[in-house]
Amino acid sequence: MALESRCFLFSLILLSLLCFVPNIACHSGDGWMALTPDEIKSKDMNALANYTVIEHNKEKKRNLVFEKLCNGYKHVNVSGQMYNLFETATDYDKCTTPMGSCDGDRRSYKAVVWVQDLKNRTTLLSFKKINVTCNLK
């Protein structure tokens, strides 16, 4: 009887470790995970980053054009995913000529967006200019 209890306890501990250990390298300790290079390049993630620029334009009456998703982090829980996206957009607000003949100002931004899959809802929580540049190759 005692041997069965020990085997069961050992199995439980081993299973717990196997579930926990693979995620240690990806987590920052507070539940946020860095997006992988494949996620950063994916159409879905770039569409989400573009959405943040479009929503910011609607809310603030701006004229930004999405350029590139540079980096990001995600936090997944039962009700959805929270994303911190670091992206580059070109600001055409000061252009007095059509966008094709104006270079605009390329800037970096951090967007925080909440995606609730079950409710089919995406909400831009914040969109701020940051002083970090991202490579636009």
Q: With 70 as the cut, is the pLDDT of residue 44 above it? A: yes
Per-residue pLDDT band at 13 (split at 50, 70, 90)? low
Q: With 80 as the cut, is the pLDDT of residue 70 above it? A: yes
Q: With 60 as the cut, is the pLDDT of residue 50 above it? A: yes
Q: Which residue has the tokens 């995913």?
A: 81
Look up the CATH number of the domain holding residue 51. 3.10.450.10
Q: With 50 as the cut, is the pLDDT of residue 18 above it? A: no
Q: What is the pLDDT of residues 86-106, one digit of tens each?
A: 999 999 988 876 656 678 899
| Per-residue model confidence (pLDDT) at position 118 | 86
Instruction: For residue 113, give both structure tokens.
Output: 């967006």
Q: Is residue 90 part of a domain?
A: yes
Least confident of 41-50, 51-60, 87-96, 97-106: 97-106
Q: Is residue 12 part of a domain?
A: no
Counting the structural domains of the chain, the total is: 1
* Total-model pTM: 0.74
Distance CA 82, CA 76 (A): 6
Range of the domain at 116: 31-94+103-136
